[in-house]
Structure 1
């Protein structure tokens, strides 16, 4: 097992990884920008190294600086966390080349699944159902029109190297397609340096369902069930729950078995998530995230399995600590992403946290690096806390979540807590009757 792990991230996920390491008797090294000198993960780690000024490209995305910090600290392994370099194949390869262990999948798997066209081709070869669409990137408008007419309008134009909703445009008819292609290509080029796009059938009312996978280097693969991540605004998830209120037992079993069988053939190692759109009883693969997910705690809450601990063990060469038959699913869990932003305008709200009180009690977990007196910097993602609540049933979970949100207080900055309070009181959400477009309409209606 590793003696010292460098955590190449910040905020709540850096603290989450530190806690897992601490419980395994592993020493930790925190890296930080000058803006994060007083961050909680820096305060708690055994060692810390400043890797640059506030801008991400000069600090958390600065590969030479992170590798130098690992060398200086004498770390055995590097955990990339979520975001930043977590799905950067070049970084994963550099980590290994410099004699450290990358706590994640192989660079080859990161590369393959990072290209959405290649990932879709791989899914087909692994017998994973995919959304009908082009076989690969679209070279010209004539080809795009042929494919669109073949699969039927409306269609979705998507950036091959995309993510976060960037480089995605809907064409309702042939009249819209040329403009959608032009806009998607321009946006893809600006955001990813790659203007390749492909076409998919546009599904009108899908759920976003993802399957959590764990795999080791000994051929063992298990799944931890599904998460419903359909509540999204501008393709950014706001709330996740497990299990999904939209699936029945047979659908749940089928997609779990499909995912594990595919990852076994793929030879995957580490934690990963296969994401699907689900509509009218059918699953369609959209992408795979080759890293830990922000919403991983909901799976932990209903299974009792520490995903970060398993990540670390697998990276060290150990087999998974349990088989699929050992995984049991208990109750229901919901996660609310608490962002430092206005619940009305969604504009970021960095600044000084004057007061902080986290909710507690049975079945309540808060993953956050906040404390009173901490200044939320303006340079990074607005996620500042995750409230995860579990209960023996979905109804019990909802009642507990309502109570926990009433207790949660963060002073000095605006947060998304008021939006979550309003959201979980909506009849459609209470009934589990929502899809990936529901939240946008809910926010616009101010109901």
Structure 2
């Protein structure tokens, strides 16, 4: 039986923190690894020891097998937990661990290799009699063969990268004339993301549910399943909401899908935690999608309804112990729902966000679990996936869990970085989701007009709160400088503030109605008037009374920048009251700036090149995604300020275009 005492976690962020917690509870010593960008991260602080494994870029740190093994050797770690992502499904990594006499807490090299290929795994599942979607999974990969196979399968169809996941290398093709372009795009994306351009084709199953079965095997030949998870709510093939059990599951269907999942795992002599993913159509028919040979992001919902710790199971199985429970001992109780907290701007095409975590105060109430890797002062960098953590709710039934999760999202304070809290809360509150009717088409069909998906101006109430905070800071500072107590007296001229939000200035007046330790002020903005009483202000929380209703508002004030935790999440306002007046740039200035920190992967124009509106100019890579930057108008490239491979900062000028002058404009 393999014995180990110290576990190195070959990952970062919330999953590293999650594994460290269970490993330490079981009595194991833990080792964190980190890149230079993660030196102050939470997982580094939680582990017993930590080793830097390279620069910020993943291909120089978290993806370098030799660096990870060197860290294990330096610290005496005799087991490695890969988490998910990075090298968790890399057969070469598992093989290297075995060669170094280090226990890999995961399945065998053979299982990882086979199930890591959508093409090879589908062939194996067909041989095992597991239901599969009709398609093409052959080794011939040239475009002519794929075009012929597409005609045989029929449209619509899905193109999928054989390796990897997360929606990369996946395209829906509605008709034949789209196929070649989509094949080339999918192959390029797959090659860049996974190092393999191999593709498979499958008949598109329209509006299915995405249901996955959690399986577990041990070294003694035992395999069980621990219920299912519904992951149907997706955006661009990436999961947004996961829940257990599936809202439409029956005992008979669960048994059939569970048996198929166990059959799939047995086909490869599976050991450890794995997930067999299926598409479930409206008729109750289900089809094998893929098997993930690792712990899933959404494993907490299974833990909550089974009462089991799946990381503990992984460690036990890796040590040679049998599974803790037999199939008949596994019981499902209650309901759990999980959402993924991402640093992204949902109002701007879900653009990943970078910045500094200024405030982080998660809502921790009974029934709420938050797995995260955040701490205040931490930088969210462009080098990694934008997922910050997961918010999970458990209740006696689905509605209990849903209601608790909405509150948790609305109450978790995150300032300094834009995140997707409002999007998630609105989604959970949607009648179709609340009714349990959501399929993979839910967001596109029912949610595409939600207010969280477009920029929203600050409300008069939010501007009033901001102005009140600025008044408090200004009045306190002036009173202190003049060695005076209290506030500016009532009846004086109003305080005037100019706040900028979404590049728009807002003139706001604050009239002091009652001065003193808890002043009452009236805030005027345009036609709106808000009266509030300032009860307390401690640098983190503002306590106010508006119309007799007392409430607390989280904030962070730094110089001319004010962050408020508002209905939409992180509301950033800039105080430009004393800023010098400058001419406004024309809307069509032609300045193409970086939307975030990142790396330039392609520059498609040169100085002097004529361009047309919508033409692709530069491709920026950040947070494991490529972001195309296009011309906003017709014109000529006046300046190109970057080269391929350059690291750029948010708002850095990349390309400048001199707009074409139309005859009408010239005459004017």
Q: Smaller-chain TM-score range? A: over 0.9
Larger helix fraction of residues: 1
Displacement of 1:142: 4.7
In the other structure, the counterpart of 1:419 is: 423
Partner Cα distance (1:348, 1:185) in 2: 23
Alignment of 1:321-340 (within 5 A): 321-340=324-343
In the other structure, the counterpart of 2:363 is: 359
Find the residue that maps to 1:286 and give its secondary structure. Answer: strand
Q: Is the 8 A contact 1:232 1:440 kept in 2?
A: no
Deviates more, 1:395-404 or 1:186-195: 186-195
Q: Is the 8 A contact 2:218 2:270 kept in 1?
A: yes
Alignment of 1:192-341 (within 5 A): 192-280=194-282, 281-341=284-344
Alignment of 1:366-445 (within 5 A): 366-445=370-449
1:262/1:188 Cα in 2 relative to 1: closer, same or farther (>3 Å)?
Answer: closer
Q: CA RMSD in A?
A: 1.6
Displacement of 1:203: 1.1
Partner Cα distance (1:437, 1:87) in 2: 28
Partner Cα distance (1:160, 1:282) in 2: 24
Q: Is the 8 A contact 1:333 1:397 kept in 2?
A: yes
Q: Which of these two proteins has the greater Rg computed from alpha carbons?
A: 2
Displacement of 1:123: 1.0
Alignment of 1:43-192 (within 5 A): 43-192=45-194
Partner Cα distance (1:169, 1:38) in 2: 38
Partner Cα distance (1:169, 1:138) in 2: 19
Deviates more, 1:194-203 or 1:334-343: 194-203
In the other structure, the counterpart of 2:603 is: none
Larger strand fraction of residues: 2
With normalisation by structure 1, the TM-score equals: 0.96
Displacement of 1:440: 3.5
Partner Cα distance (2:192, 2:47) in 1: 37
Greater length-normalized contact order (CA 8 Å, ≥ 6 residues apart): 1
Q: Number of paired residues?
A: 447
Deviations 1:161-188 (A, max 9, x none): 2422222233323333344334333433
Find the residue that maps to 1:370 and give its secondary structure. Answer: coil
1:178/1:52 Cα in 2 relative to 1: closer, same or farther (>3 Å)?
Answer: closer
Find the residue that maps to 2:344 and give its secondary structure. Answer: coil
Deviations 1:316-362 (A, max 9, x none): 11111111111110010000100111131212222221111111222
Displacement of 1:260: 1.4
Displacement of 1:145: 4.4
Partner Cα distance (2:221, 2:255) in 1: 21
Displacement of 1:138: 4.5
Q: Is the 8 A contact 1:343 1:417 kept in 2?
A: no
Find the residue that maps to 1:136 and give its secondary structure. Answer: coil
Unpaired runs of at least 5, structure 2: 452-668
Displacement of 1:141: 4.5
Partner Cα distance (1:222, 1:10) in 2: 29
Partner Cα distance (2:392, 2:266) in 1: 30
Deviations 1:260-287 (A, max 9, x none): 1332343100000011111131111111
In the other structure, the counterpart of 1:343 is: 346
Partner Cα distance (1:238, 1:247) in 2: 20
Q: Is it true that 1:446 corresponds to 2:450 in the alignment?
A: yes
Find the residue that maps to 2:107 and give its secondary structure. Answer: coil
Q: Is the 8 A contact 2:173 2:179 kept in 1?
A: yes
Find the residue that maps to 1:16 and give its secondary structure. Answer: helix
Deviating above 6 A after TM superposition, structure 1's stretches of 4 or more consecutive aligned residues are none
